[in-house]
A and B are shown apart, each in its own frame.
Chain A
Amino acid sequence: MTESVNIRVKSILISLSRYVSPAMLAAAGVLIVTIIALFVPPYIGMADNGDYSRIIYSNGLYILNPDYKTHFFGYFVKEYGIFQHFNEHAAALFSSHSYFIRLAIWLNELFYSDQLFDVRFQTIIFLALYTIAIYLFIESLTWKVPRKYGYPIALIAIFVFADTAYTAFFNSFFSESIMLIMTMLVFAAGLLMYRNRYNDYVLMTVFFISALILTTSKQQNAPVGVILAVTGVVLVFIRKERSFRIWMSSILVALFLSGIGTYVLIPKEFVNINAYHAMTRGVLMESEDPEATLKAFGIDKQYAVLNKSIYFEPFTTVDVDSKILEDHFYSKYGFGSILAYYLTNPAQAFKMLDIAAKHAFTIRPPAMGNYELSAGREFGEQTRFFSLYSNIKHALAPKTFGFVILWVILIVGLYMPSFITAVKAKHMRHIQRLPLILGMMLLGLSGIFVSIIGAGDADLSKHEFLFTLVFDLVTFVAVADAIRRYLWRSDKDAAMQ
């Protein structure tokens, strides 16, 4: 009986594999689920938390609804106006996200309207890129892998990456959509190079462009360029041709510089709220003596009254943009001095990391609603459609920084044997796998560090998106490698292309 079932499953798999590879199955699955979620009423998207205006006005869009503010945090809004006259809102911030919005506006004007912008034109672009990213990512794990391993991996991929906690970002102006797609593409390109699948030059280009877009999508991602440039050094040696090595080295240098550039170039204009929280919800919050801490920064000790205050409170003592704060508070500290403070006060830093870990496993920010007002849902209601994975993760992950450290050690430990073997064999392509995975994990950790240093514990679940994403990607790769039995050892060499 079981044998006949086995035979039947096998025959189904064989006939399936004739038409659909696991990568294609995963890509198609994610595409279909996401289309149903985002393009079939009730449309799922993300409510604005007040951040949209920064990015949309500089790109030629404006808010149509006079009652728009009442939708904040509560309802997703899909239509915006397109400026018909000269747009005096000079680019408020330099972000690669702008190019996607402009492309979407162009498409919108071509096919829909030159006055009314439907955010779903941007969604179409993102979804197309995401489908490609999923395909490449799963291809890197299932190429030349037995069917009985390949399809389960593809199904798990759909379960995790079609989760609407991720895809709802596409229907928004949050740059998380770009982070999702580009991080996946960077990882996929790295893994495909490791597997020696596709042309290395093409993959190098994909790696570079997606890493560049990721780094420049927001200031918080400035470390991404630096981390990828450092952990990517092995990539220079995977081919022996001089031209490849020169190209790859230049790319890594460019990424390094783009990271620094992002930190320097993105204007300071919007950092006041974050700077406020970095001090009140970070440095001061876990301090044993906030007044002494303030003195260490050269700030008047009376500012201790702001300890633990949140700017998002409806009523606050002081306007976050007021001159008194500009002159006597913000001007006294910056990213560097806060980093130095945490380094010299490691106990406090660990307490903050523990607080950060509480939110590090949440994909969907709890504050923002997913439905349009017209859907008749409650203010701030979130969708339950295809979100089992994000809910399980949110509920079950052990939320301590110790767990994050264990996870890093575990992953590094699992990939160490194959790494040592590759080093002994001086097999550069295989050596590259561990640094790549380590690089990805560092990206996630940098997300945590940057959000604590940059904004304390405020709005952590949104700031830590990069970590929660990387956690899923890396854990998924480890699980997939375990399924296909290539966790301990490197893949067999494929024929050079």
Chain B
Amino acid sequence: MLFKATNKILLLFMIVLLAMIAIVPAPLVHAESTKPVRVLLLYDSLAKGTSKSGNVEALQHILAAYSVTVTLQSFDNYKQGELQQYTKVIGIHNVADISITNQDFVRDFTQYKGSYLHIGTNVPAMVQSKLNLHTREVNVDTFRLSIDDFSQQAIQAEALTYITAYEGNSHGLISSRSGRQSPFGVSQNGIAYIPYFEKGNLSELAIGYVLRDWLGWTNESNTYVVFKEIYPFSDLERLEKLADELYEAGIPFVVSARPIFINFDYPATKRYFETLKYVQSRNGNIVVNVPEIYAILSPLERDLNKSFELFIDAMVKQGVAPLGFGAEMYWTYDQYFTNSGLGLFDTAILFQNKEIKHKAQDYTSKSFPSTLYSLQLDFLEQFEYREKALTDFPMNTAITFDFNDNGQELDEAVKWLRDSWVTFADLKYGDHTVTTKANTIRSSGGSLYINDQLIDLATAREEVSEEFEYKPKVEKSFERWFNVQNKVFIVIILVTIVAFGGFFIIGYRLYKRKYFK
């Protein structure tokens, strides 16, 4: 009896469960979760020429790693009603004596109910009250910053706000020589505050921890090794040797390979692709580095999408499976690049901006489901850290090296990687897709697929034939006819010369006979 009743309950439970599954529109849930979060990033000044210069850009760089779509705007350009379109807003105040005069913003901000992160000076009353914040201003200070397993000594700031009391979670610690202490950042219920943020020191990394909490980012983060500055005419043998060295050390890595848009059938190109294929077989992953942009407006119109597709298809033809792209961060803030070219990829490695060459600057970024924040070793070397820390970056991070001819630098990089105990992640274990019109390249669980066909990473390398006809032979018509014609003309000319010679001799004789008798 009891058994029957249990059975009935179980049956009923299953029916209810099935009904629930049927009612909840699963794809919609999925769509909701993949839609990128939109963040409005407001700043008072880019603080050019001061120590804070570049901090807005650094923040954009880190935000990209959390796959959020960022709209960058100055407080001055803010227009009424914009705040209401966002649920996450960041305000950076770089200059203490500039207060917000834009009344549209001031009015809208009092109504704003979403998450807000404040960085720098001029903390709004709302933030102060929600975090129950007490602060103290100090002029010119030298302090130590620590977060997670990282710390940096002797950071200098012209002015610093110490948080003396707060409510909520704290992140990191600022401690001055004179004994003052303050959290690096605090957050509670979507409201967060970071008093100090500059580009190029530990605060750039530390803000990643606060953002992870503030954005509610729960994905596991990984650390990758990336080599960039790889050209078709780089030392390919050295690249293969590097791949061997890293393979033997069990270190998976990524190479960001420069594209070519012409001469795909040249032996030189094939050798380049063969090397990349070899790299791929040695635990290397390939991403397409974006091309150089001609500094000024080029008079030539080219479709970047098409160019990328040509390059990727040529790679695929030779068994190389690129999984994403590598670019300076500003590429994601350019309408032209994001609409044309970058649309083929869902995975990005974003390097620091070096030289910005926009084609159609946009103030709203394009986000990619999988984005790696790139930092260089010399940035890390400013800090003290435990090695374990390198596996625990808050966001997906790429420790990036330049592949150049300086053998010593490269050897040092390999040595550093080999000596470190860090477990670096293998890009192809994640889900990454590159789609051209002709091919779909995909990685999953450590395997690479081209058009859903698993590719064998251990395929033997093909020897590239040196024989190549660089200049296609012009098809000759009537070749035989012209040969015959040539011969006929040669005969005619010879006969004519002989005849002229004859006439000349005859004429000369006649002349002599007439006058020299």
Interface of A toward B, CB cutoff 8 Å: 50, 69-70, 72-73, 286-291, 300-319, 323-324, 327-329, 367, 380
Q: A302-B272, A305-B272, A315-B261 are in contact. List 12 more A-B contacts (CB 8 A).
A: A50-B296, A69-B297, A287-B470, A289-B470, A291-B267, A301-B268, A308-B262, A312-B294, A314-B300, A317-B260, A319-B292, A324-B405
Binary interface profile of B, 261-273, with partner A (CB < 8 Å = 1, else 0)?
1110011110110
Residue from the list B268, B301, B302 in contact with A291, Cβ < 8 A: B268
Q: Does B234 contact A (CB under 8 A)?
A: yes
Residue from the list B236, B292, B307 in contact with A318, Cβ < 8 A: B292
Q: Which residues of A contact B292 (CB under 8 A)?
A: 315-319
A287-B470, A291-B466, A316-B294 known; A305 vs B300 contact (CB < 8 Å):
no
Q: Which residues of B contact A323 (CB under 8 A)?
A: 404
Q: Does B432 contact A (CB under 8 A)?
A: no
- Is there an interface contact between B296 and A72, defined as CB atoms closer than 8 Å? yes
Task: Tell me the complex Cα distance, A70–B301, Å.
Answer: 14
Task: Tell me the complex Cα distance, A304–B233, Å.
Answer: 9
Task: Tell me the complex Cα distance, A174–B234, Å.
Answer: 37
Interface of B toward A, CB cutoff 8 Å: 229, 231-234, 236, 258-263, 266-269, 271-272, 291-302, 304, 307, 359, 404-405, 466, 470-471
The smallest C-beta distance from B367 to any residue of chain A, in angstroms, reads: 23
- Is there an interface contact between B234 and A324, defined as CB atoms closer than 8 Å? yes
A300 and chain B: residue at smallest CB distance:
B233
- Is there an interface contact between A309 and B262, defined as CB atoms closer than 8 Å? yes
Q: Which residues of B contact A327 (CB under 8 A)?
A: 405
Q: Which residues of A contact B263 (CB under 8 A)?
A: 304-305, 307-308
Q: Which residues of B contact A69 (CB under 8 A)?
A: 296-297
Q: Which residues of A contact B470 (CB under 8 A)?
A: 287-290, 307
Task: Tell me the complex Cα distance, A315–B471, Å.
Answer: 24
- Is there an interface contact between A72 and B261, defined as CB atoms closer than 8 Å? no
- Is there an interface contact between B232 and A315, defined as CB atoms closer than 8 Å? no
Q: Which residues of A contact B231 (CB under 8 A)?
A: 317-318, 324
- Is there an interface contact between A305 and B294, defined as CB atoms closer than 8 Å? no
Q: Which residues of B contact A329 (CB under 8 A)?
A: 233
Q: Which residues of A contact B272 (CB under 8 A)?
A: 302, 305
Number of inter-chain CB pairs below 8 Å: 104
- Is there an interface contact between B291 and A367, defined as CB atoms closer than 8 Å? no
A303 and chain B: residue at smallest CB distance:
B233
The smallest C-beta distance from A309 to any residue of chain B, in angstroms, reads: 6
- Is there an interface contact between B297 and A72, defined as CB atoms closer than 8 Å? yes
A380 and chain B: residue at smallest CB distance:
B299
- Is there an interface contact between B233 and A305, defined as CB atoms closer than 8 Å? yes
A312-B300, A324-B233 known; A304 vs B266 contact (CB < 8 Å):
yes
- Is there an interface contact between A302 and B232, defined as CB atoms closer than 8 Å? yes
- Is there an interface contact between B233 and A70, defined as CB atoms closer than 8 Å? no
Task: Tell me the complex Cα distance, A256–B267, Å.
Answer: 46
- Is there an interface contact between A317 and B291, defined as CB atoms closer than 8 Å? yes
Which of B231, B304, B307, B471 neighbours the largest number of chain A CB atoms within 10 Å of its CB? B231
A284 and chain B: residue at smallest CB distance:
B470
- Is there an interface contact between A314 and B294, defined as CB atoms closer than 8 Å? yes
- Is there an interface contact between A305 and B260, defined as CB atoms closer than 8 Å? yes
Q: Which residues of A contact B271 (CB under 8 A)?
A: 302
The smallest C-beta distance from B448 to any residue of chain A, in angstroms, reads: 24
- Is there an interface contact between A317 and B258, defined as CB atoms closer than 8 Å? yes
Which of A289, A301, A313 neighbours the largest number of chain B CB atoms within 10 Å of its CB? A313
- Is there an interface contact between A312 and B404, defined as CB atoms closer than 8 Å? no
- Is there an interface contact between A317 and B404, defined as CB atoms closer than 8 Å? no
- Is there an interface contact between A313 and B294, defined as CB atoms closer than 8 Å? yes
Residue from the list B232, B295, B298 in contact with A313, Cβ < 8 A: B298
Q: Which residues of A contact B229 (CB under 8 A)?
A: 324
- Is there an interface contact between B302 and A313, defined as CB atoms closer than 8 Å? yes
A73-B297, A318-B231, A327-B405 known; A305 vs B266 contact (CB < 8 Å):
yes
- Is there an interface contact between A311 and B294, defined as CB atoms closer than 8 Å? yes
- Is there an interface contact between A73 and B299, defined as CB atoms closer than 8 Å? yes
Nearest 6 interchain pairs by C-beta: A315-B291, A302-B233, A314-B298, A304-B268, A305-B232, A50-B296
Task: Tell me the complex Cα distance, A291–B269, Å.
Answer: 12
B263 and chain A: residue at smallest CB distance:
A305
The smallest C-beta distance from A131 to any residue of chain B, in angstroms, reads: 33
Contact sample, A vs B, 24 pairs, CB 8 Å cutoff: A69-B296, A73-B299, A286-B471, A302-B233, A302-B272, A304-B266, A304-B267, A305-B260, A306-B233, A307-B470, A312-B294, A312-B299, A312-B300, A314-B293, A314-B302, A314-B359, A315-B302, A317-B259, A317-B260, A317-B292, A318-B258, A327-B405, A328-B233, A329-B233
Q: Which residues of B contact A380 (CB under 8 A)?
A: 299
A50 and chain B: residue at smallest CB distance:
B296
Task: Tell me the complex Cα distance, A450–B153, Å.
Answer: 59
Task: Tell me the complex Cα distance, A288–B467, Å.
Answer: 11
Q: Which residues of B contact A367 (CB under 8 A)?
A: 299
Which of A287, A290, A308 neighbours the largest number of chain B CB atoms within 10 Å of its CB? A290
Q: Which residues of B contact A316 (CB under 8 A)?
A: 291-292, 294
B289 and chain A: residue at smallest CB distance:
A317
The smallest C-beta distance from B449 to any residue of chain A, in angstroms, reads: 28
- Is there an interface contact between B266 and A307, defined as CB atoms closer than 8 Å? yes
The smallest C-beta distance from A50 to any residue of chain B, in angstroms, reads: 5
Q: Which residues of A contact B297 (CB under 8 A)?
A: 69-70, 72-73
Task: Tell me the complex Cα distance, A307–B260, Å.
Answer: 11
B298 and chain A: residue at smallest CB distance:
A314
Task: Tell me the complex Cα distance, A309–B231, Å.
Answer: 15
- Is there an interface contact between A313 and B300, defined as CB atoms closer than 8 Å? yes
The smallest C-beta distance from B364 to any residue of chain A, in angstroms, reads: 21
Task: Tell me the complex Cα distance, A311–B296, Å.
Answer: 11
Task: Tell me the complex Cα distance, A225–B302, Å.
Answer: 42
The smallest C-beta distance from A42 to any residue of chain B, in angstroms, reads: 22
Which of A314, A323, A324, A380 neighbours the largest number of chain B CB atoms within 10 Å of its CB? A314
Task: Tell me the complex Cα distance, A307–B263, Å.
Answer: 8
The smallest C-beta distance from B240 to any residue of chain A, in angstroms, reads: 13
Task: Tell me the complex Cα distance, A372–B294, Å.
Answer: 24
Q: Which residues of B contact A311 (CB under 8 A)?
A: 294
Q: Which residues of B contact A308 (CB under 8 A)?
A: 262-263
Q: Which residues of B contact A301 (CB under 8 A)?
A: 268
Q: Which residues of B contact A70 (CB under 8 A)?
A: 297
Q: Which residues of B contact A324 (CB under 8 A)?
A: 229, 231, 233-234, 404-405
- Is there an interface contact between A315 and B304, defined as CB atoms closer than 8 Å? yes
Q: Which residues of B contact A290 (CB under 8 A)?
A: 470
Task: Tell me the complex Cα distance, A291–B263, Å.
Answer: 13
Q: Which residues of B contact A73 (CB under 8 A)?
A: 297, 299
Task: Tell me the complex Cα distance, A300–B272, Å.
Answer: 13
Which of B236, B262, B301, B404 neighbours the largest number of chain A CB atoms within 10 Å of its CB? B262
Task: Tell me the complex Cα distance, A160–B24, Å.
Answer: 82
The smallest C-beta distance from A94 to any residue of chain B, in angstroms, reads: 24
- Is there an interface contact between A288 and B471, defined as CB atoms closer than 8 Å? yes
- Is there an interface contact between B296 and A302, defined as CB atoms closer than 8 Å? no
The smallest C-beta distance from B413 to any residue of chain A, in angstroms, reads: 17
Which of A289, A302, A327 neighbours the largest number of chain B CB atoms within 10 Å of its CB? A302
Q: Which residues of B contact A289 (CB under 8 A)?
A: 470
Task: Tell me the complex Cα distance, A136–B466, Å.
Answer: 61
Task: Tell me the complex Cα distance, A367–B271, Å.
Answer: 37
Task: Tell me the complex Cα distance, A314–B340, Å.
Answer: 13
The smallest C-beta distance from B408 to any residue of chain A, in angstroms, reads: 15
The smallest C-beta distance from A279 to any residue of chain B, in angstroms, reads: 12
Q: Which residues of B contact A318 (CB under 8 A)?
A: 231, 258, 292
Q: Which residues of A contact B266 (CB under 8 A)?
A: 304-305, 307
Task: Tell me the complex Cα distance, A79–B405, Å.
Answer: 46
Q: Which residues of A contact B295 (CB under 8 A)?
A: 50
Task: Tell me the complex Cα distance, A73–B263, Å.
Answer: 28
The smallest C-beta distance from A107 to any residue of chain B, in angstroms, reads: 30
Task: Tell me the complex Cα distance, A461–B206, Å.
Answer: 56
Task: Tell me the complex Cα distance, A301–B268, Å.
Answer: 7
Q: Which residues of A contact B302 (CB under 8 A)?
A: 313-315
Q: Which residues of B contact A307 (CB under 8 A)?
A: 263, 266, 470
- Is there an interface contact between A302 and B405, defined as CB atoms closer than 8 Å? no
B336 and chain A: residue at smallest CB distance:
A314
A289 and chain B: residue at smallest CB distance:
B470
